[in-house]
Chain A
């Protein structure tokens, strides 16, 4: 009985010793990385409790506006309408932190003889202007285009930067995730898809030319990290500036330090360039 009381007392003490409770919500793209960071950080800082959940960047921003989360993970930049809601809710623009780099590759079936495309060609394939592989130097066969759901930050990024804002072909198959795209491309001899550079297992990743005359660059780790590979984006964390102090500021600092950036590669993204990291 005495033992039980001591255990109870100890656990009450331990609970009260949790000085910081940090909630993180947002992008599913960043979810695994955010969990990895949270676990590692909590291992070294037993007084901090970090709870991470996903749902999507839009859900994260809605939670930031509703002040039900401290940090919002986002795979895209915040939109003007969302900044406005934040100003209305807490009277300030949320602070933006770049936390990692992501390279997007273009996948094709391993049997496809093609090895490289230019950004413009990729754009034309996904908008439906090019519908046959022979127009880009491949076999005479119709192209099946696989895309992501329009709720995905990857979709939005690809549309804005590779398709230059034009619409995806209506016939593009929307898949629920990068893994599903890769799987579909692996099964479909004439398929093409896009997604995180680290997820292409089983498919063939094309080398990409920035313009029609430049040399093709393969989406290897080094090429993405030094940003010579042309299709890449930042991943972000947003925070209410008035909360950006104490435990939360320490945590954000750690994420962007050399120590925190070590874990980025484990989950398939790329660490921030040195000059964008926090100073330590």
Chain B
């Protein structure tokens, strides 16, 4: 650690060094704090402390004195601190609200067996359930309404569907462009192409989303004649545009870092430039290209705006010509209206934590692979 010199660092340099060290540390700290915050808000879901059963038996406000503080705290969902600060009249008010809530339930829901289910149990979050009015067990994400249905499977499927379409589109294009730019292109062409492709990453994703919504959706529908105009296919293609620059620059970097000796040896043995690029350089750089795809995955799965603008029906289907709803879209679109601290809010944070874990793991894998690859090329292993 630190700068190694023959003499002691001057105080100003020492200060500057420490300052920079803390700045870089703060980035890691921020990530950690964000994760802790997200996880903390989601914790009640993991521990099954949320209850969304619509019909519950209210305690009559007259019985206020008959119950112990602990019972009332659990019933009114308040902390002992809040309980201690509240006057009798306020407690009674709170209990009145509970009773009114039960009185407001529409009659057709009173005898509904679903109204007695706590829909935030894990069983209902990940397994299909046959709700009233449905013919068979289904995965349903309908978090707003009398019976709140929080099945997260359609969202996970939607996210993967859009992300995979995006990668299928982006990886071949980006890797192909990387091979061309790093191996085949003349220097003059390379000087123009490389910044041009990297410039793509500067397009705000809202603009890409807008373009996809208005132009791509219409054009693609007239070509493929599918029924749903806005679907995972359109969103995936648009997402591809956002991911291409990420994959391109990492893959290009990996291809360029293959030692020149490899290329020169191949050419000297009579291989053509094509053969060298495909059979020598690409296989040597394959771990780096793989890492590029993994990091592209991390970027794609976390992308919000494009998917939000193009498609967002939480339909449970693997068909790419059906609509999809991604986790990011769900969080962005629903957080504003969720009652803060309520079950919907908690579940959105739980989804956020899931997403965080997914991008974290994919970035870790990508970085790890790249690191190993660089070491291998440098002959350290």
Contact = CB atoms under 8 A, between A and B. Distances in A.
Contacts, number: 127
A184 B149 CA distance: 27
Interface in A80-122: 80-85, 87-88, 91-93
A262 interface: no
A261 interface: no
B150 to A, nearest CB: 12
A87 B227 contact: no
Given A87-B94, A91-B90, A62 B322 contact: no
A79 interface: yes
A196 to B, nearest CB: 17
B325 A174 contact: yes
B218 A187 contact: yes
Given A85-B341, A88-B78, A164-B108, A150 B142 contact: yes
A266 interface: no
Interface string A46-64: 0000000001111101100
Contact of A61 (B76, B97, B339): B339
Interface stretch (B63-71, B180-188, B251-259, B304-312): B304-312
Contacts of A156: 144-145
A139 interface: no
Contacts of B322: 171
A165 B106 contact: yes
A80 B315 contact: no
A184 B229 CA distance: 9
Interface string B73-104: 00011100010001100100110011011001
Nearest to B315: A170
A132 B104 CA distance: 35
B334 A149 contact: yes
Interface size class of A (residues with CB under 8 A): 35 or more
Contacts of A155: 144
Contacts of A149: 312, 333-334
A88 to B, nearest CB: 6
Contacts of A59: 336-337
Given A150-B334, A151-B334, A83 B90 contact: no
Given A150-B144, A160-B145, A173-B228, A80 B133 contact: no
A159 interface: yes
A203 to B, nearest CB: 15
A164 B313 CA distance: 20
B38 interface: no
* A56, A150, A184: most-surrounded residue (chain B CB, <10 A): A150
Contact of B142 (A83, A88, A91, A167): A167
A208 B335 CA distance: 33
Contact of A151 (B77, B93, B133, B333): B333
Interface residues of B, number: 55
Contacts of A172: 313
A123 B77 CA distance: 35
B122 interface: no
A137 interface: no
Given A81-B339, A159-B144, A165-B145, A144 B227 contact: yes
A184 B323 CA distance: 14
B163 interface: no
B101 A151 contact: no
B302 interface: no
B306 to A, nearest CB: 13
A142 B228 CA distance: 11
B342 interface: yes
Interface in B16-51: none
Given A170-B314, A176-B309, A152 B337 contact: yes
B69 to A, nearest CB: 15
A58 B337 contact: yes
A251 B149 CA distance: 40
A84 B335 CA distance: 20
B230 interface: yes
Nearest to B214: A183
Contacts of B314: 170, 174
Contact of A84 (B97, B131, B229): B97
B340 interface: yes
B316 interface: yes
Interface string B139-183: 010111111010000100000000000000000000000000000
B338 interface: yes
A142 B90 CA distance: 54
Contact of A165 (B78, B108, B143, B325): B108
A270 interface: no
14 contacts: A79-B339, A85-B340, A88-B82, A88-B90, A93-B97, A127-B133, A144-B228, A149-B333, A151-B337, A152-B337, A160-B145, A170-B140, A174-B333, A187-B218
Given A59-B336, A176-B333, 17 more contacts: A58-B339, A82-B339, A87-B90, A88-B90, A144-B228, A150-B334, A150-B337, A151-B336, A167-B145, A170-B140, A171-B313, A173-B228, A173-B311, A174-B313, A174-B333, A184-B229, A187-B218
Closest 4 CB pairs of A and B: A56-B336, A151-B337, A80-B101, A58-B337
